[in-house]
Copies of this chain bind each other. A is one copy, B any other.
Amino acid sequence: MLRYAMIGGGPGAFVGGVHRRALALNGQARLVAGCFSRDLEKSRVLGAELGLDGDRVYATPEELARLEAGDIDFAVVVTSNEAHYPNVKACLQSGINVMCDKPFTHTSAQARELVELARERRLVLAVTYTYAGYPMVRQMREMIARGDVGEVRFVNCEYPQGWLAEPLETTGHVQASWRADPERGGGTLSLGDVGSHIEYLVPHVTGLELTRLAARLDSLVEGRVLDDNGVILTEYDTGARGMYWYSQAATGAVNGLKLRVFGDRGGLEWFQEDPDHLRYTPLNEPARIITRGTPDLLPGAMDYSHTPAGHPEGWLLAFANLYRSFCDTLATGAAPDFPTGEDGLRGVRFMEACLESSRGDTAWIEVGGE
């Protein structure tokens, strides 16, 4: 069984618990060390709850990295965004493999440095774009790869949420406050938080490579400095085109990530709030509803599917699937099938391009290449 340490994920930090539960579900790795909070006392309390040895709870990530190198197989970095860069760097420098939460870093220079560091040290560096872990997202990817929709012509990906439709950052709401703070959010609020998922998902599923974009970032809620909504026009290497819409001010939306792909021989649609189904519309035929857990699944999707059809899986199991691939690579050297540091870098460069485009009144920006 692999051993891991967690950096971040202290009391009240929702996502840390998710990472721990996903790993527990898989049963491939166990938590052995942590630096959960800037407040060592809080870290210690949580460490004790989680059954850690007291001397493996650390005051700083750097200390953890230095002292645990060799005793752990990987570290999970789930701090707030601005701390990803130093924490991942500390781990990599000590020779520790890393799973980092998304968005990866504030600047592409930081991301590039971390990717190069991992490459030099031959370490595994991964980023948790969770939605890639859903079986039906894999199904979609495999169906497109084998030509079920023909050549992809247009992609429409949207991700509306509504929880920031009010200025929660002015009310002391913890999550909202650090995300909406220009210093800590990395220049974006919702682009980093939800738009980044779109950016990863589209090429992952379709195989398209983004070449050009034009973005308008909006601050819909009065008084908000960063973006809480945005629209991005896209063009891809094959000539295909697309549009992205993300929002956290879409009053009444919940967690509405939806990906629609239109090819010359069919279309596909997947909606995150109903993740076990995929709508497939072959040209001039009735729509088909493909259901997780049935023999209609292609191999990769089947491999990610755990419970029988109609017994809904969900977000946590998608998380677990990502970790399973990650741990398989660590344990057996299996080829990576999870979002990597390179993907994280590409995501940061995308955000920089969107910000540049939006400052230029939705100017077109070339992306791609190195």
Contacts and interface: CB of A to CB of B under 8 A. Distances in A.
Contacts of A316: 25, 306-307, 311, 313, 316-317
Contact of A266 (B245, B252, B267, B269): B252
B162 A281 contact: yes
A275 interface: yes
A265 B166 CA distance: 9
B251 A267 contact: yes
A264 B287 contact: no
A219 to B, nearest CB: 10
A241 B220 contact: yes
A213 to B, nearest CB: 11
B254 A220 contact: no
Contacts of A269: 252
Contact of A216 (B233, B273, B289, B309): B233
A255 B309 CA distance: 7
A156 B245 contact: yes
A49 B36 CA distance: 30
Contacts of A340: none
Interface stretch (A115-123, A199-207, A290-298): A290-298
Contact of A286 (B149, B231, B288): B288
A45 interface: no
A230 to B, nearest CB: 10
A18 interface: yes
A302 interface: no
Contacts of A51: 1
Interface of A: 1, 14, 18, 21, 24-25, 27, 50-51, 149, 153-154, 156, 158, 160-162, 165-166, 214, 216, 218, 220-221, 229, 231, 233, 241, 243, 245, 247, 249-256, 260, 262-267, 269, 272-276, 279-291, 294-296, 306-317, 361-362, 364
Given A306-B316, A312-B313, A316-B317, 13 more contacts: A149-B251, A165-B262, A165-B264, A220-B262, A233-B233, A252-B267, A252-B280, A254-B291, A255-B310, A256-B310, A285-B296, A287-B288, A312-B315
